[in-house]
């Protein structure tokens, strides 16, 4: 069945494919070097496929009881189909498996769709980073959000 969702650990050889999705989704995407550093550092780096098509990726780090969701990207034409929620749930389970108690993230204040997803899953806004993200013509605030992994529904 071509619509089966499959998760795959991201390897160095996958970075070009990941960059294609990253560049399609963001005006200020992560660089090849950032992804390579994450893979080499042993972060939780995952790719999501729908059949043979890569639809997204995510990166998470976990240490000392905390995890940080550093990147969660779904290609624009695949958004709105539940793939982001599926990938987010997987990343939260990975954080829990790495003995994290909480997951933090930053999200652009203008990214209403992502903020809605994080709210629905149970993240809470705990702060704001002024002028955190670059944008055309200036900078944009980031909302800082947290999720208590004890709340994770299996």
Which of the residues 22, 106, 133, 140 is marked catalytic? 106
Tokens of 124: 């809470």
Burial classification of residue 115, based on how many CB atoms lie within 10 Å of its CB (0-12 exposed, 13-18 middle, 19 or more buried) = middle
If you write DSSP's letter for every residue of 66-79 in order, what string do you get? EEEEEEEEE-GGGT
Given 43, 44, 118, 133, the catalytic residue: 118
Where are any strands of DSSP class E within 2-150? Answer: 5-9, 44-50, 53-63, 66-74, 102-108, 124-135, 138-148
Query: Domains of the chain (ranges plus CATH)?
Result: 5-151 (3.40.630.30)
Pairing of strands 102-108, 66-74: parallel
pLDDT given for residue 154 in this prediction: 54
**Residue 106 falls in the annotated catalytic set:** yes
| 133 counts as catalytic | no
**Run means of pLDDT, 10 residues per run, the chain, 154 residues:** 83 97 92 97 97 96 96 95 96 96 96 95 96 89 95 65
Note the pTM of the prediction, 2 decimals: 0.93
Given this model, what pLDDT does residue 110 score? Answer: 93
pLDDT of res. 27: 85
pLDDT of res. 1: 38
């Amino acid at each position: 069945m071509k619509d089966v969702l499959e998760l795959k650990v991201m390897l160095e050889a996958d970075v070009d494919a990941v960059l294609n999705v990253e560049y399609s989704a963001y005006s200020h995407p992560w660089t090849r070097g950032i992804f390579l550093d994450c893979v080499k550092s042993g972060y939780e780096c995952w790719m999501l496929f729908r059949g043979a098509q890569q639809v997204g990726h995510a990166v998470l780090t976990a240490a000392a009881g905390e995890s940080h969701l550093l990147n969660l990207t779904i290609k624009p034409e695949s958004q709105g189909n539940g793939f982001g929620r599926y990938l987010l749930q997987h990343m939260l389970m990975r954080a829990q498996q790495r003995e994290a108690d909480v997951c933090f993230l930053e999200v652009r204040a203008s990214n209403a769709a992502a903020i809605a997803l994080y709210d629905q899953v149970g993240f809470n806004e705990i702060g704001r980073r002024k002028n955190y993200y670059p944008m055309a013509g200036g900078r944009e605030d980031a909302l800082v959000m947290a999720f208590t992994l004890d709340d994770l529904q299996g």
